[in-house]
Amino acid sequence: MNTADQYLKAIYLAQRIEDGPASTGTLADLLEVSPASVNEMIGKLEDRGLVDHEKYKGASLTDEGLGRAHDALQTYCIIERFLANVLEVEEYQDEARALESVIDDTVAERLDTIIDRPGECPDCFDPERDACERLEVGDGCAD
C-alpha cells in the first residue's frame, strides 16, 4: 500500500466519523501529519480523480477513490488481524500502521489465507476504535 492509498483510507474513515466530507484537521490527526501535508496530498488525489475537494467543506472520495480506499482498508484489516490473532502482538495497531505502507497485495493475499477474516470485512471496521469491531485480541479468530 502506498502513501496515496493511506490517505484514501484515512479519508474513507474520516467520512464515516464525520458523516460527511473529511476535514483537513481530522485527516491530519488520523495520519499524524501536518494540515499542509494533507492539503498537498488532497490536491494530488483530486488531480488523479480519486477525491473531490471543496474548500472549507472537506474531501470526499470519488467512486474510484472509494474502491481504492476499501481495498486499502481491507489490507490494513488483514495485517491487523494477522498481528493480533496469529502472532499475538500486543501493540498490533501500531505495528499494523507501520507495516501497511510496505505490505503489497501479494503478501496481504497470502496473509489472508492464514487468518479467519469475516466476510463483511472491511465494513466491520470501527474507525473510532481503529480496529475491526469483531476483532477479539488473543483468541485466534473473532466470530
Please give the grid coordinates belonging to residue 37.
Answer: 501535508
Q: Exposed/middle/buried for 52, CB within 10 Å: 0-12, 13-18, 19+? A: middle
Residues of the chain within CATH 1.10.60 domain(s) are 70-132
CB 14 within 8 A of CB 60: no
pLDDT score of 42? 96
pLDDT score of 37? 95
CB 92 within 8 A of CB 84: yes
Residues of the chain within CATH 1.10.10.10 domain(s) are 4-66
Q: Exposed/middle/buried for 107, CB within 10 Å: 0-12, 13-18, 19+? A: middle
pLDDT score of 89? 92
Please give the chain's pLDDT, 143 residues, in tens.
678 999 999 999 999 989 999 999 999 998 989 999 999 999 999 999 999 999 889 999 999 999 999 999 999 999 999 999 899 999 998 999 889 889 988 999 999 999 988 888 888 888 887 778 878 775 444 44
CB 17 within 8 A of CB 127: yes
Task: Identify the CATH number of the domain defined by range 70-132.
Answer: 1.10.60
pLDDT score of 142? 40
Pairing of strands 125-126, 131-132: antiparallel
Spell out the residues 6+ positions from residue 4 whose beta carbon is closer than 8 angstroms to its own.
41, 44, 45, 48, 50, 68
Residue whose C-alpha is closest to residue 111's, from 91, 84, 130: 84
Task: Identify the CATH number of the domain defined by range 4-66.
Answer: 1.10.10.10
pTM, two decimal places: 0.84
